[in-house]
Amino acid sequence: MEKRIFGIILSLLGIAGLILAAFNFMNGGYGERNLKEIIIYGILGVIFFFAGIALLKSTKDKAT
């Protein structure tokens, strides 16, 4: 059960990172600092999201 909870948390963090990257992208201001933020939030968001989804898929429920 702990793996499922951790997978959900990772997925939610990934979604939050992707939303933050999209928000910074849509806000404009394409300076060097803002571009770095967009890239970092986007990459971390994708990594966390797919790691969480993979963890949820690989975890099997056991009947007790």
pLDDT digits (tens, 9 = 90+) for 35-51: 888 999 999 999 999 99
Count of domains forming the chain = 1
Buried b (16+ CB within 10 A) or exposed e, 14-43: beebbebbeebbeeeeeeeeeeebbeebbe
Domain-embedded: residue 14: yes
* Cβ atoms 42, 3 nearer than 8 A: no
Structural domain including 46 reads 7-58
For the entire predicted model, the pTM comes to 0.83
CA 19, CA 59: separation in Å to the nearest integer? Answer: 26
Domain-embedded: residue 1: no
Between residues 29 and 9, the one the model is more confident about: 9
Between residues 60 and 57, the one the model is more confident about: 57
